[in-house]
Amino acid sequence: MDDVEVLMPPVAGTSGAGTGRGGQHVSNRGANAAAAAAALGGGAGTGAAGHDFAQSMRRTSSSARSRKTLKQILVNMDMLPRSSTLRSVLGVLGFCLMFLALFQGFALGSILLICLGAIVVSWALIHWMLLQDEGPVEMRTIAGFIREGSDSFFARVYGTIFKLSLPMAALLFMVYALRKPSKGHESLWAGGLAFLTALSFMLGAGCSAFAGYIGLWTSVRANVRVSACALRSYHGTIQLALRSGAIAALIVVTLVVLGISLLFIVYAGIYEGVEGEPGAIPFARLPLLLVGFGFGGSFVAIFSQLGGGIFTKAADVGADLVGKIDHDLPEDDPRNPAVIADLVGDNVGDCSARGADLFESISAEIISAMILGGTLSTDCGMSSTEARGFVLFPLLVHAFDLIVSTVGVLSVPDRPSSDTLIATSVKQMEDPLNILKRGYAVSLGCAVVGFFLATRWMLYTATAPSAWFYFFLCGLVGMATAYLQVIITQYYTDYDYQPVRRIAKACESGHATNVIAGLGVGMESVMIPTIVMSAAILSSYWLGLSSGLVDAEGKPNGGLFGTAVATMGMLSTAVYVLAMDVFGPIADNAGGIVEMSAQPESVRDITDRLDAVGNTTKATTKGYAVGSAGLACFLLFRAFMDEVTEYTGLEFETVDIATPEVFVGGFLGAAMVFRFAAMAMEAVGSSAQAVVAEVRRQFRDIRGIMDGTEKPQYAVCVDVVSKSALAKMTKPGLLVTLMPISVGVFFRIVGGYVGDPLLGAKSLAGLLMFSTVTGIMLALFLNNAGGAWDNTKKYIETGAHGGKGSEAHKAAVTGDTVGDPSKDTAGPALHVLIKLVSTITLVLCPLFVGTAP
């Protein structure tokens, strides 16, 4: 059947003379829609509102002067895509990459050229996005508010992270400069290695920060364009939101692959040599030097996720509690003083933080897989050419991801031939999730082909000719696991399925039964994903063992690398998955802009439908992230054990949890996870209280807010939540950073007294195991329970169980409020926690072990 499109009424100009106000063009949401529109001011007053907001942001920011330069840089970046100077710089960069690729062999050269192609595609998508219409002046003014608040918070939070990064880089330098040389590497200059490790940490931190900013930069420019597109085209709106998300995703993954590749080239140029050569490290051992890069990405991601998560949910909870419950205002009503802070939070929490999160996830997976590939090639006595294939394979897989996901994104059409057709309702349009799934299916199909070619090219060995095919099957296991995680999460969080509808039914009985039902669904949702992850680890491990690769003693030796390949398979379409994730907050922001600018009801219906799908894509992405984190942590755990053996020369193959010190380390790791989650939840609660107090003050003191004669002080709310988020993100971040260091150092000292040089590493292994398992379980519970509560509210708002304003709806708002910090603060931060603990132990290994007597 032909697709159907809603024909939107034309927009009567783009001036501020009243577009979208009065008459048939005004949204009928709420009894006071006209007053809500008036809250923004009209005509010339609209421009004044933007000026007032910017001035207020500068007045209310106590440390604005110290951040002036950074803010100016962020604002000026808006002109970069049109800058001829930057085009020249990128041209020189492209030429350098092409020249460098000529001397790196075919595999590494291909990786560099693919990254160059991804930069070109990203640039083209940015240019295409910026050419899209920004809509009437009301939309542009509101988008300006959101952009100003987002840039202000980014400057604050990343300024704080930078200050925290410098002491950590100094600690890394001292640890590597003062440590005893590892076995076989006594001739290496410790000072040079320490400098490069600290430098790689800062490089990883810088790339992670830039990845976060790219997510933010894209979302705050795409939101208003998606809003304007909703005035014209349903399918065009979906395409624009997805491609805008793909910009951030492409650049994030390109940063990972290109950063690690260039750093690896530098290390190879300095240290590569044959075993026993003075000052040289064999090619297969070079990946161990990359752990500083992964640690830098994880260090930034934990603070970014905490700061953004606290901001977004404190603003959201504060806006809902006062706006919806106290004053019965609709979602994103411009009379709500916290509405801009809420929309800013979508960008800093769901876009910026998620970009940094994905950056560190892929970094950790690539580096750990490269380490395991190098170890496997050494143990199996492979030739130098074969060893290069196993080490570089993870980089090639993610380079292919840039290609296959781009194909999937570009396969989603705007259906221009249907734009002139008329439908009676947006509900008759095709479900946006089905459209996104078709693009994902295209990416997944291309990924299967790409994975087949990559394994045959890079993993073929003469001693085990069929090994590459077994590893290809491991990759298929990973892809199937990713797909199942997405489907399972959708089942527990989408209101088309029974779990959410059970919670909605419970809302009829009141607030308490809603919370109880949501907790039950969250707990139930942990079981099946855990079984899937367990099956993936075991099946990929067994396939790897069956590959035919054996060590010097004739024992099968491909199991762990098989699990690594399965993890690569899970992340082989990471670009498309991240694009769907960023799609959510862009659609959410677009809906807010449409509501605040009082656009027609039919326009808000489109953005509402995209917003509902965005909630599902964000929830499924979290399930995908937890699954990949579980497999990646298994690899990092093994890489930690390999590094202990490499550094000490002592065999470290098993961990006995019956050893008291190991068991205690595990206890402390599990307790750390719960304490961390508690601190994140408490931070949202206390920050939300500050927002509630400020919003109530404005309603009390500014009498004209409700009738639209006076404007709320949006900037004051943004400043209140910014200060609170910054103040409360540091302690939980320091907890997860310092806890494993303290445990490892303490038990190393104890081991010195009892004659066990590996006791610190053993206790840390216990901490890693217990914290990883506990973190995965708790993250699944928090993510799915929160997502289910959120979509329960949206389901009731469709008219079910009494619809908006009913007692069931009020109960659903309570559940959504409880679920907000669960799914968007504590849950996503736990993804980063479990990988950060692993990378800390990996990069600071010399602190935790003695040397063999």
Task: Encode pLDDT of 109-159 as tens digits.
Answer: 888 889 888 988 998 898 899 888 888 888 888 888 888 888 888 888 888
Pair 128, 259: CB distance under 8 Å = no
| Average model confidence (pLDDT) across the chain | 81
Give Cβ neighbours of residue 202 (< 8 Å, ≥ 6 apart). Answer: 165, 169, 296
Across 553-557, average pLDDT? 83
Band (pLDDT 50/70/90 cuts) for residue 62 is very low
- The Cβ of residue 262 has, within 10 Å, a number of other Cβ atoms equal to 15
**Residue among 18, 117, 742, 731 nearest 403 (CA):** 117
Give Cβ neighbours of residue 57 (< 8 Å, ≥ 6 apart). Answer: 64, 148, 149, 152, 715, 718, 719
- The Cβ of residue 448 has, within 10 Å, a number of other Cβ atoms equal to 17
- The Cβ of residue 256 has, within 10 Å, a number of other Cβ atoms equal to 32
pLDDT the model gives residue 610: 85
Report whether pLDDT(426) > 70.
no
Report whether pLDDT(421) > 50.
no
Pair 326, 125: CB distance under 8 Å = no
pLDDT the model gives residue 422: 45
Across 175-198, average pLDDT? 73
Distance CA 507, CA 815 (A): 9
Report whether pLDDT(27) > 60.
no
pLDDT the model gives residue 4: 35
Pair 138, 19: CB distance under 8 Å = yes
Band (pLDDT 50/70/90 cuts) for residue 49 is very low
Residue 344 C-beta-side C-alpha neighbours within 13 Å: 31
**Residue among 390, 396, 361 nearest 375 (CA):** 390
Across 413-431, average pLDDT? 58
C-alpha separations of 59 from 54, 56, 62, 276, 341 in Å: 9, 5, 7, 63, 17
pLDDT the model gives residue 357: 80
Distance CA 184, CA 182 (A): 6
pLDDT the model gives residue 279: 65
Distance CA 765, CA 753 (A): 20
HEC readout, 810-846: HHHHHHHHHHHHHHHHHHHHHHHHHHHHHHHHHHCHH
Distance CA 674, CA 770 (A): 12
Across 408-428, average pLDDT? 63
Distance CA 574, CA 248 (A): 12
Band (pLDDT 50/70/90 cuts) for residue 539 is very high
pLDDT the model gives residue 217: 87
Report whether pLDDT(747) > 50.
yes
pLDDT the model gives residue 157: 84
Across 574-600, average pLDDT? 87
Band (pLDDT 50/70/90 cuts) for residue 816 is confident
pLDDT the model gives residue 294: 86
- E strands, 636-790, are none
Report whether pLDDT(32) > 60.
no
Report whether pLDDT(183) > 70.
no
522 versus 331: which is more confidently predicted?
A: 522
Q: Please state, for a pLDDT cut of 70, what percent of the chain lies above it.
A: 84
Band (pLDDT 50/70/90 cuts) for residue 428 is low
Distance CA 230, CA 605 (A): 9
Report whether pLDDT(278) > 70.
no
Which residues are bridge partners to 550 per DSSP?
556
Report whether pLDDT(51) > 80.
no
pLDDT digits (tens, 9 = 90+) for 598-611: 888 888 888 888 88
Across 746-750, average pLDDT? 91
Reduced to 3 states, what is the DSSP secondary structure of residue 281? strand
Band (pLDDT 50/70/90 cuts) for residue 777 is very high
Report whether pLDDT(537) > 50.
yes
pLDDT the model gives residue 638: 81
C-alpha separations of 500 from 293, 313, 489, 516, 581 in Å: 41, 21, 12, 13, 21
pLDDT the model gives residue 434: 85
What is the per-residue DSSP string for 616-647? HHHHHHHHHHHHHHHHHHHHHHHHHHHHHHHH
pLDDT digits (tens, 9 = 90+) for 668-691: 999 999 999 999 999 888 888 888
**Residue among 392, 308, 409 nearest 350 (CA):** 308
Across 601-624, average pLDDT? 81
Pair 201, 172: CB distance under 8 Å = yes
pLDDT the model gives residue 532: 92
Q: What is the DSSP letter of 419?
A: T
Report whether pLDDT(237) > 80.
yes
Across 335-340, average pLDDT? 83
Distance CA 697, CA 758 (A): 59
Band (pLDDT 50/70/90 cuts) for residue 780 is very high
Distance CA 214, CA 364 (A): 20
Across 317-328, average pLDDT? 77
Q: Please state, for a pLDDT cut of 90, what percent of the chain lies above it.
A: 21
pLDDT digits (tens, 9 = 90+) for 693-728: 888 888 888 888 787 778 888 888 888 888 888 888
Band (pLDDT 50/70/90 cuts) for residue 291 is confident
